Chains A and B, each alone.
Chain A
């Protein structure tokens, strides 16, 4: 078990090197720091002096990969690549590109908890709700309930998450005043602000997942062991809830990994709509103000989280299915 996890972590590290190279190529070779400076300072009439000052303040004036003027190991460390890319591995994100130049690492530490308290419930509740809904549909398979349930699912899938958020915020927060429109508080008080975004994102992702899980369950339902269970005289609820659910859990866990990117996006949207000061809102602000340092840091951090969660899902997978041997 441990050696498996360690091996996976090692491969994850190799993947991260690739991510790092991609971001470096994307941010520093497609466009030079000069172009970034010009865009950030704004306007066509930016003098070279201003650009040089901007670059010097942020350490972009050093050579890209190899500093011939420095001595010893500093030849490699006194470079943009080392300071801006390699340092990400020790989670040293540096300073933001904007005028304030805040410490990105500090911001991330502040906002990480907020984001997790939003996305983890969305993930778990969304999984639970869609499994329950799909099991319920499977229970009525072949009946009108199932048919119309699927129709409703397809219609709901065709509605952008943005609509759910905007309409939900309008109905529940503005009209019914069941929850605050936006904002955030620390501690337990935060729940008040999180209920609505979590609920809306669960509803937004419900239909697509439920429909997918329904097909997984239907595949299982037609297998022999299900017939055996029924022949033993077990009720439909027990058959579905115990036998089918356990066997269908494996593909569901696998597909949970593919729901992660959506989770990132959901976090991004809800945080900016509901004024929750998490990483998503931070990223959107950074994109809006074209702050390359923050976007770069978020790309790296997002990949780290993604890789770690995928490893976690694989571990859960082996735990859920004793047949799977970890290799």
Chain B
């Protein structure tokens, strides 16, 4: 059975970003000062745990960033054709969740549907007549799910036992893996010298283990519950699709938006911010004018306007994509570019102010005296000295962009409706919350996943800011001095 790889725009960028991070890690390894600063980030237990959570989400994202299309069975005398559906490696791993599609809503861990359906009478049986001689309506009951708990012969009696068995199996296997991992992580912890531990400079491997164990436990439960003839861990949506699958697919969308869009702000912000600060004069005036204009337009309106234009563009050029997924991907790619083009003003302002300060310092003056070209000075002397600002802003942006995506999708200018995203899940949940009895699980799934990712990103960003921002370090010890005095 053949297949062909489909290279999507965002796939390329995601992998390039991973490559970039790896290259940066190499630079950090070699640079002692940088290494010490990053060390400070990972001495914080919260940051270490967040990093573990983010990394595991990144693994999901990357598994979802290798796309291919299966070859259709060859028909005699025809060219090889490929399935219109584009799948990813993650889809392969979650094939079971995709296949176990129900008819409609079902609660998490349910064996029966959520909505009553008419039960068709067995063939040959005539419907009973009521006193007027009119056939009675078929009885209505909660239908048995096709896949949820399909192995149970007596769902009411066996359900609790089956769930308990699966949960304990999941817990046991998760604990086993966590126990196996405890050794190497503890070794790492111990290998750090006692001096480092006393100076508060020890990497928080313990926190990493706890975070990993918690993730393993949750993953263990999910796997055990859905294994074989299992259940829908987070229920199914209106069309019977597994909500857990949708939530897992949404992780990639969130990462693409968060990563790509914050990356897209960098070129303009760096170039214009440093140029404005270095050259001053009319260059500064022009650049200031441009970013004041941009930031004067309420961001969401500007994005809405841009996205409407992109929609027109996509409608006009249908030859740019082969499948629906490629269209959705191009749209999210352009959305990220839009977010980048509309969101660089803040960082630009920061960089301009910092460059204004730096250009008066001796090392820059010395470079000028040596006759270095402005481009060289900006690139070699100023850029490395503002990188901490860039890093802090990018990491901070990441979480706010994930939150922003949900709002944009709600307003109708976000990602393609065909693409799984947290915004889409929330949007759909909004209608479901109005039902009675309410359908709460898509909403809960979006909530749990989003809060986990954004919280982890926020905590990590805080640690990065505290480690890299020289001002934050000045404030901290003062706080520590004040505390015992009270």
Interface residues of B in 251-298 (CB under 8 A from A): 289-290, 292-294, 296-298
Considering the complex, give the chain A residue whose CB is closest to the CB of B440: A170
Q: Quick check: B301 and A295 within 8 Å, CB to CB?
A: yes
**How far apart are the CA atoms of A30 and B341 in the complex, in Å?**
15
Task: Collect the chain B residues with CB atoms within 8 Å of residue A221's CB.
Answer: 482
From B305, B443, B450, give the contact of A23 (CB < 8 A): B305
Q: Quick check: A154 and B459 within 8 Å, CB to CB?
A: yes
Q: Quick check: A218 and B479 within 8 Å, CB to CB?
A: yes
| A66 adjacent to chain B (CB < 8 Å) | no
Shortest distance in angstroms between B413's beta carbon and chain A's nearest beta carbon?
Answer: 6
**How far apart are the CA atoms of A284 and B409 in the complex, in Å?**
11
- Using known A-B contacts A158-B454, A160-B403, determine if residue A170 contacts B433 with beta carbons closer than 8 Å: yes
Task: Collect the chain A residues with CB atoms within 8 Å of residue B26's CB.
Answer: none
Q: Quick check: A160 and B313 within 8 Å, CB to CB?
A: no
Q: Quick check: B482 and A222 within 8 Å, CB to CB?
A: yes
Interface residues of B in 447-461 (CB under 8 A from A): 447, 450-451, 454-455, 458-459
Q: Quick check: A155 and B478 within 8 Å, CB to CB?
A: no
Shortest distance in angstroms between B318's beta carbon and chain A's nearest beta carbon?
Answer: 9
Sorting the interface of chain A by its residue count into under 10, 10 to 19, 20 to 34 or 35 or more gives 35 or more
| B212 adjacent to chain A (CB < 8 Å) | no
Interface residues of A in 42-63 (CB under 8 A from B): none
Q: Quick check: B315 and A155 within 8 Å, CB to CB?
A: no
- Using known A-B contacts A39-B311, A142-B484, A142-B486, determine if residue A162 contacts B301 with beta carbons closer than 8 Å: no
| A112 adjacent to chain B (CB < 8 Å) | no
| B308 adjacent to chain A (CB < 8 Å) | yes
| B304 adjacent to chain A (CB < 8 Å) | yes
**How far apart are the CA atoms of A222 and B474 in the complex, in Å?**
11
**How far apart are the CA atoms of A89 and B296 in the complex, in Å?**
15
Question: DSSP class of B's interface residues: helix, strand, loop or mixed?
Answer: helix
Which of B293, B296, B433, B438 has most chain A Cβ within 10 Å? B296
From A218, A284, A303, give the contact of B475 (CB < 8 A): A218
Task: Collect the chain A residues with CB atoms within 8 Å of residue B413's CB.
Answer: 287
Task: Collect the chain A residues with CB atoms within 8 Å of residue B486's CB.
Answer: 141-143
Shortest distance in angstroms between B308's beta carbon and chain A's nearest beta carbon?
Answer: 6
Q: Quick check: A265 and B300 within 8 Å, CB to CB?
A: yes
Considering the complex, give the chain B residue whose CB is closest to the CB of A175: B438
**How far apart are the CA atoms of A30 and B297 in the complex, in Å?**
18
From A31, A157, A162, A273, give the contact of B313 (CB < 8 A): A31
From B290, B305, B406, B458, give the contact of A157 (CB < 8 A): B458
* Contacts from A to B (Cβ < 8 Å): 14-16, 18-19, 22-23, 26-27, 30-31, 35-36, 38-39, 141-143, 154-155, 157-163, 166, 170, 215, 218-219, 221-222, 260-261, 264-265, 268-269, 273, 283-284, 287-288, 290, 292, 295-296, 298-299, 302-303, 306-307
